[in-house]
């Protein structure tokens, strides 16, 4: 069973590989380049997944950094404005998935960018699995319209989804943590950072290769490390996300 731990002393265990499973870059609505993110996490001796909205350039960049532990990832937004995280065992599967299933399904999100595609949340889950990926329900307790808590009570959906994200950007109440753990599904955690991770929300495993790390999550043998984010940091972070999605521009380089 996945363990949720808030004691920071666990981070000193050198046998554990801690990864921020949900980070954004300038290729969606983040403020940092993949190059900056890679250098930061190499320095901190932690792994990271760039899971940009409907984009994979950041994940592809990380896959080329031999010093960095990273898992190919993407965050897909459904036509209902709900987010699904997809984790892949290799970058080729992610690239194939994006090129064939996502690239031409991205909607023109005017005014405030919700990053929606034309796919339903059920379609996204099934398509990720067709490419040997792991679909995870992202931040079910986040703000509306992205809040997806109702899907936790949808038995048909929960049979299809592989797991859920328990924390994102330092948000989760005790009753929400209890609900997620009682579902008895695989759990991941990440900062959902659009700035740079505070390293307060991490997924840990005793494995340092991608396949075994992902398998440990599916087997519920992983560890979740979590510390609540500072109120002012969360507020500032949310304002940055708001600004970036009103004035979103596609970057031309790293």
The pLDDT tens digits for 43-94 are: 999 999 999 999 999 999 999 999 999 999 999 999 999 999 999 999 999 9
Q: Map tokens 């290729």 to a residue.
A: 27
Q: Map tokens 């036509």 to a residue.
A: 79
Angle at 201 between CA 197 and CA 25, to 5 degrees: 35
The whole-number average pLDDT for the span 186-212 is 91
| Residue 123: other Cβ atoms inside 10 A | 17
**Is residue 113 classed as helix, strand or coil in its secondary structure?**
coil
Share the mean pLDDT of the chain: 89
The whole-number average pLDDT for the span 243-252 is 52
Helices vs strands, H then E, count in the chain:
8, 10
User: How far apart are the C-alpha atoms of 133 and 214, rounded to whole Å?
Assistant: 10
User: How far apart are the C-alpha atoms of 227 and 131, rounded to whole Å?
Assistant: 33
Give strand ranges (E) for the chain.
3-5, 17-23, 47-50, 73-77, 83-87, 134-137, 163-168, 187-190, 201-205, 223-226
CATH topology of domain 3-7+15-246: TIM Barrel (3.20.20)
**The two three-digit tokens of residue 43, written as one number:** 């320095």
**The two three-digit tokens of residue 216, written as one number:** 């440990």
Please tell me what DSSP assigns to residue 101: I
pLDDT in tens, 16-28: 999 999 999 999 8
Question: Residue 237: its pLDDT value, please?
Answer: 57
Question: Residue 167: its pLDDT value, please?
Answer: 73
């Amino acid at each position: 069973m996945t363990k949720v731990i808030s004691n920071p002393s666990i981070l000193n265990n050198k046998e554990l590989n801690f990864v921020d499973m949900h980070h954004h870059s300038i290729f969606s609505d983040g403020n940092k380049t993949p190059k900056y993110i890679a250098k930061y996490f190499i320095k901190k001796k932690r792994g990271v997944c760039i899971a940009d909205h409907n984009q994979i350039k950041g994940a592809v960049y990380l896959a080329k950094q031999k010093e960095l532990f990273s898992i190919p990832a993407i965050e897909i937004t459904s036509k209902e404005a709900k987010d699904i995280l997809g984790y892949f065992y290799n970058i080729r599967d992610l690239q194939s998935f994006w090129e064939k299933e996502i690239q031409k399904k991205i909607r023109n999100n005017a005014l405030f960018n919700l990053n929606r595609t034309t796919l339903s949340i059920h379609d996204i889950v099934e398509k990720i699995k067709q490419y040997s990926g792991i679909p995870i329900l992202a931040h079910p307790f986040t703000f509306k319209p992205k809040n997806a808590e109702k899907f936790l009570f949808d038995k048909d959906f929960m049979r299809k989804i592989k797991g859920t994200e328990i924390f994102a950007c330092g948000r989760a109440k005790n009753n929400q943590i209890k609900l997620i753990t009682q579902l008895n599904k695989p759990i991941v955690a990440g900062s959902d950072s659009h700035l740079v991770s505070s390293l307060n929300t991490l997924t840990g495993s005793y494995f340092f290769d991608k396949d075994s790390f992902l398998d440990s999550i599916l087997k519920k043998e992983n560890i979740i490390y979590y510390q609540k984010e500072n109120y002012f940091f969360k507020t500032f972070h949310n304002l940055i996300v708001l600004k970036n999605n009103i004035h979103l521009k596609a970057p031309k380089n790293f």
